[in-house]
Structure 1
Amino acid sequence: MDQKIKSVFDLQQKYKFELRKTDSKTRIAKLKKLKQALESAEEEIYVALDKDLRKSKFETAVTELFFTYAEIDHAIKKLSGWMKPKSVGKTMSNLFAGNKIYYEPKGVCLIIAPWNYPLQLIMSPLISAIAAGNCAILKPSELSNSTASVIHKIISNTFEEREIACFEGDAETSTSLLKLPFDHIFFTGSTAIGKIVMEAAAKNLTSVTLELGGKSPAIIDDSCDLKKAAEKIAWGKLVNAGQTCIAPDYVLIDEKLEKEFVSHFTVAADKMFFNYGKINDEVFGKIISEKQFNRLDGLIKKAVIEGAILEFGGETNPESLTINPVVLTSVSAENSIMQEEIFGPVLPIIKYKNLQNAIDFVNSKDKPLALYIFSDSAKNQEKIINETSSGGTCVNDVLVHISNPNLPFGGVNSSGIGSSHGIFGFKNFSHERAVVFQSKFGMTKMIYPPYNLGLLKWLKKLM
């Protein structure tokens, strides 16, 4: 495998110099080709995601396919404008010069994708890489192996290896890839693995984009529509069985509202994901692996031992890798379940006495990938936004910020580095190159030796 990887990498290193010359028309044709390949493989994709995560056809269409198609369409529409050199302002040192920013491809890029949205989270950065004129090597997750096989087939049938290639395999394959001096690495996954990727990239001074995760909070005050908030959080928390990097990880709620919220949440969860009191596995997904199932099961049990109250759910089925939705109250900051990203259908609820307590709690932890505010008070909304930091934020909704390609998507510090989607993804896979076209009337000669000290006062005023 190592030899094959190196062979493809070398091919792409040679071809990147040809690829960088391509115009928007050529790149748009490639994006259209990718979309057609995905459309032709739709049924295979539905079957694969059902096998890997028990995703319903509807959920796969909305969260994987339609999302990807929309991103391709957006790139096709905007690419010509993105690629044009941008004129910028001048200074006295280049008053008569032309000053522009050129967007050049980074070169050969590595895209390592996770298992939770295995199609969307490999195709989204690939779209940006193609738009920016790069070669790319893809590494889908081995945990979602059915989808990985379909992705490999799509890429192999659509592109030459010297431009885009896909390698299936386990952590050893990723390790082999990370040894190579890529021009850019785009990784989506856990913070712990993100650190490993960044360390490997540093050895080759390779730039990185890290889409990580963390404990994304939902803050609820007493001015919001509590029923609507509970419905939205129930959907955002439980879609894909909670295996979503921007899922609400826990709730911070005004202490007066806790009981009512729990009631609304359980009603909403029952309506969306249960059928006559039993989990509806036609709409509710499964946990990806036995290892993850055991981790989540252990977290729930340990949380209860440490004092949390199981308000709702908790039934598990190890044979089908199903964990029913769980709501926990009386959760303390020290509880084990508050020490790591849950990444499953478990919602801890923490009460606060005043809004500042909630803000201080969020700020006591690493900066999250997402933060959700449920409030009809503009004053409270602004207070939370101004006094916290997160990769992205939604006010009175969850998850939807990821769907707008006009917004940057990414984390901050431990939740990620860099942004993706739309022009932000295009720039992420591009080098912004400064170019000055000096005129015949350049003024730099004024500062050549021998120095004229009499010019200093005049130059100071000019600057």
Structure 2
Amino acid sequence: MADARSLQAHLDHQRHAFAAEPYPSAATRRDRLDRLATMTRQHRDEIVQAIRQDAGHRAEAETRLAEIATLLQAVRHARRRLKRWMKPRRAAMPWRLAPARARVHRQPLGVVGIIAPANYPWQLALMPAVDALAAGNRVMIKPSEQAPTTSALLAGLVERYFDPAELCVIEGDAEVGRTFAALPFDHLLYTGPARHGRTVATAAAQHLTPITLGLGGKTPAIVADDADLAHAARRIAFGKWFNAGQTCIAPDHVLIDAARLPDFVEALREAVAAFYPKGTAGDDYSAVPGEASRTRLEGMLAQARDHGCRVIELGERVEFTHGVKLPPTLVIDPTRRLAIMQEEVFGPWLPVIGMRDFDAALERVTEGPRPLALYAFTDDPARRRRLVEQTRSGGMVFNDTLWHSAVPGLPFGGVGESGMGSYHGEAGFLRFSHQRSVFVQSRRSAVGLLNPPYRKWLLKLLGL
């Protein structure tokens, strides 16, 4: 357990190391990325088991897809483009200042802090670290205390593969997390619930620490009247029940023409049966860990039942030694005042809401908080254009769910209540860099003519 003094000591150690090497070479940065990839690749079975233990049960394929493959892909993407990202950019020079030159240098910030959640404890701790290390920074990670086995594994492996001055992991409870957030980092990235994000932002404000917040929210999926229902149901089912709905960009609720709602429910039922032929007891369906999460979800569902919502369970509740699997469950036409429509679901319940038409669904989305993602199933170019132009969300996906987060070249982040700032790929490199303006004056410059006393005829000639 780390206290404020030891946390500050870790930060000071990294600051001193950064001061001695303020602009690491491309070779040094690639070496750090290589070690991150090797650490993940060599210990993937241990990672799978640790996450499974923390989650009660996590489908192995989901861990390999979301935690391991995504991270390795991000490292490959950064390594191949690192030299180009590091290269200074020329800036256009106004003719009045010619022949001076100007460039934008991408300079490392210093020490970056990362606070990671429990739902994807490996990926969401190390994906920001890929970008921060590529940008030439030192990194401190505070993993979630709700994933203690994975956090301990991460701390032990990082200690083996990295000097603490390059990358270190700070284990501890929520109080340690609060102390960590209050450290004077050069940048702090937090992923997790919005209620904790506000606390992190307040703590960071003490030192004017720049922050990136990934907060999630109520991500809608619109199914237009031209959509293929079977396809839409399969893609929404995949995105919703991957990791039992515990994904910040999972579809939170579906908006569909009321006339098509019954057919869509049947299509979802068929998709779930195809994805999980052994039901929720099978290895491919994940658990919901933590009594607090289960209590919240069960209370949300009970309230919906009490208010007359039709609830359709597409599987059985499965209890076992280390946790519970809650079944895929549809909640039909809940009202806006219910908790299931007020809070991010972050679990296997899926509200399905019948709308008058596409315009009504679009209006509902534009009136609501800005989500981390927006999914829409339509092939109509005009509707797609309206969605892109009239809505605001962290990401926009047509005819699928989740997969935009696996594209390293796409910025990943929220807007408004779903967060601030983005990372992944070059966007992450820039997030953890200072774009420094560098102006080089020429010896033959004519700017001396603009020295006082000012000549009115010259100012007029220059159009000033």
TM-score by length of 1: 0.96
Question: Secondary structure of the residue that 1:324 maps to in structure 2?
Answer: coil
For 2:78, the equivalent position in structure 1 comes to: 75
- The alpha-carbon deviation at position 306 of structure 1 amounts to 1.9
For 2:442, the equivalent position in structure 1 comes to: 439
For 1:40, the equivalent position in structure 2 comes to: 42
Does the CA-based 8 Å contact 1:19-1:135 persist in structure 2?
Answer: no
For 1:159, the equivalent position in structure 2 comes to: 162
- The alpha-carbon deviation at position 446 of structure 1 amounts to 2.4
Distance (Å, rounded) in 2 between the aligned partners of 1:131 and 1:311: 47
Further displaced range: 50-59 or 291-300:
50-59
Question: Secondary structure of the residue that 1:168 maps to in structure 2?
Answer: coil
For 1:131, the equivalent position in structure 2 comes to: 134
Mapping of residues 175-324 of structure 1, within 5 Å: 175-275=178-278, 278-313=279-314, 315-317=316-318, 319=320, 320-324=323-327
Unpaired segments ≥5 residues, structure 1: none
Which amino acid in the other structure matches residue 234 of structure 2?
E
Distance (Å, rounded) in 1 between the aligned partners of 2:419 and 2:305: 31
Distance (Å, rounded) in 2 between the aligned partners of 1:240 and 1:416: 22
For 1:353, the equivalent position in structure 2 comes to: 356
1:382 aligns with 2:390: no
Does the CA-based 8 Å contact 1:38-1:154 persist in structure 2?
Answer: no
- The alpha-carbon deviation at position 308 of structure 1 amounts to 1.5
Which amino acid in the other structure matches residue 170 of structure 1?
D
For 1:405, the equivalent position in structure 2 comes to: 408
Distance (Å, rounded) in 2 between the aligned partners of 1:55 and 1:312: 21
- The alpha-carbon deviation at position 315 of structure 1 amounts to 4.5
Distance (Å, rounded) in 1 between the aligned partners of 2:402 and 2:42: 28
For 2:17, the equivalent position in structure 1 comes to: 15
Does the CA-based 8 Å contact 2:334-2:351 persist in structure 1?
Answer: yes
- The alpha-carbon deviation at position 203 of structure 1 amounts to 1.1
Question: Secondary structure of the residue that 1:285 maps to in structure 2?
Answer: coil
Which one of 347, 355, 371 corresponds to residue 344 of structure 1? 347
Does the CA-based 8 Å contact 1:111-1:139 persist in structure 2?
Answer: yes
Distance (Å, rounded) in 2 between the aligned partners of 1:381 and 1:351: 20
Question: Secondary structure of the residue that 1:454 maps to in structure 2?
Answer: helix
Distance (Å, rounded) in 1 between the aligned partners of 2:415 and 2:333: 29
- The alpha-carbon deviation at position 335 of structure 1 amounts to 2.2
Distance (Å, rounded) in 2 between the aligned partners of 1:21 and 1:406: 24
Which amino acid in the other structure matches residue 353 of structure 1?
R
Distance (Å, rounded) in 1 between the aligned partners of 2:197 and 2:315: 31
Question: Secondary structure of the residue that 1:397 maps to in structure 2?
Answer: coil
For 2:100, the equivalent position in structure 1 comes to: 97
Which amino acid in the other structure matches residue 142 of structure 2?
K
Number of equivalenced pairs: 459
Question: Secondary structure of the residue that 1:300 maps to in structure 2?
Answer: helix
For 1:452, the equivalent position in structure 2 comes to: 455
- The alpha-carbon deviation at position 39 of structure 1 amounts to 1.6
Question: Secondary structure of the residue that 2:83 maps to in structure 1?
Answer: helix
Provide the aligned C-alpha RMSD in A.
Answer: 1.4
Does the CA-based 8 Å contact 2:300-2:340 persist in structure 1?
Answer: yes
Unpaired segments ≥5 residues, structure 2: none
Does the CA-based 8 Å contact 2:96-2:462 persist in structure 1?
Answer: no
For 1:24, the equivalent position in structure 2 comes to: 26
Question: Secondary structure of the residue that 1:279 maps to in structure 2?
Answer: helix
Distance (Å, rounded) in 2 between the aligned partners of 1:143 and 1:191: 17
- The alpha-carbon deviation at position 373 of structure 1 amounts to 0.6
Question: Secondary structure of the residue that 1:310 maps to in structure 2?
Answer: strand
Deviations 1:358-416 (A, max 9, x none): 11111221100000010121111111221111000100010111111111111101111
Distance (Å, rounded) in 2 between the aligned partners of 1:190 and 1:310: 26
Which amino acid in the other structure matches residue 48 of structure 2?
Y
Distance (Å, rounded) in 2 between the aligned partners of 1:264 and 1:7: 56
Question: % of aligned pairs identical?
Answer: 36
Which amino acid in the other structure matches residue 157 of structure 1?
R
Does the CA-based 8 Å contact 1:16-1:134 persist in structure 2?
Answer: yes
Distance (Å, rounded) in 2 between the aligned partners of 1:307 and 1:94: 71
- The alpha-carbon deviation at position 317 of structure 1 amounts to 4.4
Distance (Å, rounded) in 2 between the aligned partners of 1:155 and 1:94: 50
Distance (Å, rounded) in 1 between the aligned partners of 2:22 and 2:429: 14
- The alpha-carbon deviation at position 141 of structure 1 amounts to 0.5
Which one of 154, 169, 173 corresponds to residue 170 of structure 1? 173
Shift in CA distance, 442/308, structure 1 to aligned 2, threshold 3 Å: farther
Question: Secondary structure of the residue that 1:321 maps to in structure 2?
Answer: strand
Distance (Å, rounded) in 1 between the aligned partners of 2:294 and 2:107: 44
Does the CA-based 8 Å contact 1:215-1:368 persist in structure 2?
Answer: yes
Question: Secondary structure of the residue that 2:413 maps to in structure 1?
Answer: coil
Distance (Å, rounded) in 2 between the aligned partners of 1:382 and 1:254: 20
Deviations 1:205-261 (A, max 9, x none): 111111110000000111011100000000100000100000000000011110000
Distance (Å, rounded) in 2 between the aligned partners of 1:298 and 1:44: 35
Shift in CA distance, 38/314, structure 1 to aligned 2, threshold 3 Å: closer
Does the CA-based 8 Å contact 1:19-1:134 persist in structure 2?
Answer: no
Distance (Å, rounded) in 1 between the aligned partners of 2:316 and 2:441: 71
Question: Secondary structure of the residue that 1:398 maps to in structure 2?
Answer: coil
Question: Secondary structure of the residue that 2:104 maps to in structure 1?
Answer: strand
Does the CA-based 8 Å contact 1:30-1:130 persist in structure 2?
Answer: yes
- The alpha-carbon deviation at position 348 of structure 1 amounts to 0.2
